[in-house]
C-alpha cells in the first residue's frame, strides 16, 4: 500500500516523475546511510540507490541515465557514484528548467489591475448565486468553487488548466443557476476569460519567440562499462 501511494504521487510527465523519484530514492539512501557506520552497509545502500535511479530512468526513457550499468565489484562503486551523480544532477537540472519553461507557457502573470478586474467579475458571480433561487447546498457548492477560483487568480502566475477547470466545474451547474434566477451568468464568465486571454497576449508580445522544447541532452559517459560491453566506451547516443 505504501508503495502504491509513493508512485501514485509522481507527476504525470516523464521528466517530472524522474526528478520526483531521484529525490525520493536519494532521501531514502541518505536517511539509511546516516543510521549506520559500517562501510559495507553503505556500499549496499549506494548500490540499491543507483539501481533504483537506473530502473526509473529505463522505465521513463531518460537519455543517458537509462544506459548506465552498475559496476561488477563493490570497490568500483565509489568512483562510479561520483560520475553517476554528476550525470544525474545534470539531467535533473535540464528537466527542472524545461518544466519551468513549460509551466510559463501555460500560465499568465496577471498584473494588479487585471487581478482586480477578475476579482470583481468573480464577486458579481457570487452576487448572482446569492440572489438566485438555488438550494442552500447548491449555493454553498458554487461559492466554494468561486473562492477556489479567486485563490488561483491571486497566484503569481494563474495556471490555464486550473483556471479553466474551475470555470468548467462552475459551468456544470450554470444551467440550473440561470433557470433559478441568475440569467447574466455567462456574461461574467466571458469577461473572466477575456482578462486572462488579453493578459497572455500582452505577455507574449514582451517575450522573445518561443522555440521548440529541446530534448534532454544525454551526459557523456565518464566511466567504462563492463569488459564485455565495448560499446559503452562511446558516447551515449541521444
User: 39 and 81, same structural domain?
Assistant: yes
Q: 97 lies in a domain?
A: yes
Is residue 227 over pLDDT 50?
no
User: 62 and 134, same structural domain?
Assistant: no
Count how many domains the chain has.
Answer: 2
User: 219 and 194, same structural domain?
Assistant: no
Q: What is the pLDDT of residue 207?
A: 60
Distance CA 57, CA 68 (A): 9
Q: Which domain holds residue 72?
A: 2-105+215-233
Mean per-residue pLDDT of the chain: 78
Q: What is the pLDDT of residue 234?
A: 42
Higher pLDDT, 212 or 149: 149
User: 84 and 8, same structural domain?
Assistant: yes
User: 97 and 13, same structural domain?
Assistant: yes
How would you write 120-165 as a 3-class SS string? HHHHHHHHHHHHCCCCHHHHHHHHHHHHHHHHHHCCCCEEHHHHHH
Q: What is the pLDDT of residue 222?
A: 47
Q: 188 lies in a domain?
A: yes
User: 37 and 78, same structural domain?
Assistant: yes
Higher pLDDT, 11 or 220: 11
Mean pLDDT, rounded, for 9-25? 89
Is residue 90 over pLDDT 70?
yes
Q: What is the pLDDT of residues 70-88, one digit of tens each?
A: 988 888 888 898 889 999 9
- CB-based contact 58:66 (threshold 8 Å): yes
The CB-side HSE value for 104 (13 A sphere, CA atoms) comes to: 12
Q: 238 lies in a domain?
A: no
Higher pLDDT, 191 or 237: 191
Q: 71 lies in a domain?
A: yes
Is residue 144 over pLDDT 50?
yes
Using the Cα atoms of residue 35, residue 48, residue 8 and residue 94 in order, give the sign of their dihedral: positive
User: 82 and 15, same structural domain?
Assistant: yes
Is residue 208 over pLDDT 60?
no
- CB-based contact 223:72 (threshold 8 Å): no
Total-model pTM? 0.54
User: 116 and 101, same structural domain?
Assistant: no
Residue 238 binned pLDDT confidence (cut-offs 50, 70, 90): very low
Residue 35 binned pLDDT confidence (cut-offs 50, 70, 90): very high
Amino acid at each position: 500500500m505504501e508503495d502504491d501511494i509513493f508512485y501514485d504521487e509522481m507527476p504525470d510527465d516523464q521528466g517530472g516523475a524522474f526528478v520526483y523519484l531521484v529525490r525520493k530514492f536519494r532521501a531514502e539512501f541518505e536517511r539509511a546511510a546516516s543510521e549506520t557506520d559500517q562501510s559495507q552497509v553503505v556500499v549496499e545502500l549506494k548500490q540499491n540507490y543507483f539501481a533504483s535511479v537506473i530502473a526509473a530512468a529505463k522505465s521513463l526513457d531518460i537519455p543517458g541515465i537509462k544506459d548506465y550499468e552498475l559496476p561488477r565489484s563493490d570497490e568500483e562503486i565509489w568512483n562510479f557514484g561520483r560520475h553517476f551523480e554528476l550525470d544525474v544532477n545534470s539531467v535533473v537540472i535540464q528537466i527542472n528548467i524545461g518544466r519551468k519553461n513549460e509551466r510559463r507557457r501555460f500560465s499568465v502573470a496577471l498584473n494588479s489591475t487585471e487581478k482586480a478586474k477578475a476579482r470583481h467579475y468573480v464577486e458579481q458571480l457570487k452576487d448572482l448565486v446569492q440572489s438566485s433561487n438555488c438550494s442552500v447546498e447548491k449555493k454553498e457548492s458554487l461559492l466554494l468553487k468561486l473562492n477556489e477560483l479567486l485563490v488561483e487568480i491571486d497566484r503569481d502566475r494563474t495556471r490555464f488548466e486550473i483556471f479553466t477547470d474551475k470555470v468548467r466545474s462552475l459551468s456544470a451547474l450554470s444551467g440550473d443557476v440561470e433557470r433559478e434566477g441568475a440569467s447574466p451568468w455567462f456574461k461574467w464568465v466571458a469577461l473572466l476569460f477575456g482578462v486572462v486571454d488579453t493578459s497572455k497576449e500582452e505577455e507574449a508580445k514582451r517575450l522573445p519567440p518561443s522555440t521548440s522544447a529541446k530534448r534532454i541532452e544525454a551526459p557523456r559517459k565518464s566511466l567504462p562499462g563492463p569488459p564485455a560491453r565495448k560499446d559503452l566506451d562511446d558516447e551515449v547516443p541521444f
